[in-house]
Amino acid sequence: MDASSRVDAIGFVGLGVMGGGMAANLMKRGRRLVVHDLDPAKCARFAGMGATVADGAMAVARQAATTICMVETTAQAEAVIVGPGGFIAGAQPGDTVLCMSTIDPLAAKAMHERLATMGVAMLDAPVSGGEPRAVDGTLSVIVGGDAAVVEACRPIFDAVGTRVFHMGGVGQGLAMKLVNNMLIQVGTVAVAEAMVMGAKAGLDPQAMIDVVRESTGASVAFEMRAPRYVSGDFRPGGTIDISYKDQELQTAFAKALGVPLFLANITEQIYQMGRAAGLAKEDSSALVKLYEKMAGVQLGPRD
């Protein structure tokens, strides 16, 4: 690959629930992608769309001057970005790494510092909106890093989202993402508790939804979760595993900052209960099953 082709290419590692939609939208904008995922089927899908498939993160970075990491955990992101076979091993001075995964902000800062010694820029740019908005290209992109690098990467952000929020230096995008995720994850548990209490009192579940939608209890968490509680649709969007991972990040980050978190610590254990009950790969809405079992009611059809 010649130097000009490498500059024009975008590397993308992690073609899962969120990354798959994001990568597809980049290709719809005419961007040339070099991709890698541990799942051969995901790689094959993108090969069929015209992407180049690489055999690892290092190989991706060798072929693309801008690389994107969209994996699930901090440990996975560290392996992809600064591991022995990661972007760092294939990057060149002047390259840019975008960590779009939701990971530990302090780990992102440490990776940024390592890459900077090589002349490689890094932004943390987690996204919000869930799978439907990843597919539609309407995500919110929450960015931390140097303003000039943010502006240089704006065409990428515009391909996957409709709003870009620059929150400050590296790590600040992730700090903001943890704030946002804490609200939806705590809210998911609150909605489950309220709906099950109402059902136990004899209220019709759909009637509860109709009333709350027009009342002060309405929220994004309610709108995302309550209809699933009633329909019984627990196909994964954001899984209980991912929500638990996010709450681990929130509570650990707060501890590092010296900030007390009561609700996040409590609800983290609810998500752990869901994992222990075999619900780890179901949508976070499936937490309602725990409360239904304890209360002896059901809000809707269940397998």
Q: Report the catalytic residues.
A: 177
Q: Which two tokens stand for residue 267?
A: 């609800």
Cα separation, 212 vs 191, in Å, equals 11
Cα separation, 97 vs 176, in Å, equals 19
Cα separation, 211 vs 217, in Å, equals 9
Cα separation, 77 vs 136, in Å, equals 25
CB within 8 Å of 183: residues ≥ 6 apart? 221
Contact criterion met (CB below 8 Å) for 42 and 20: yes
Distance of alpha carbon 116 from the chain centroid: 25
Q: Give φ, ψ of 67 to 5 degrees.
A: -125, 145
* Beta-sheet pairing, 139-144 with 33-36: unpaired
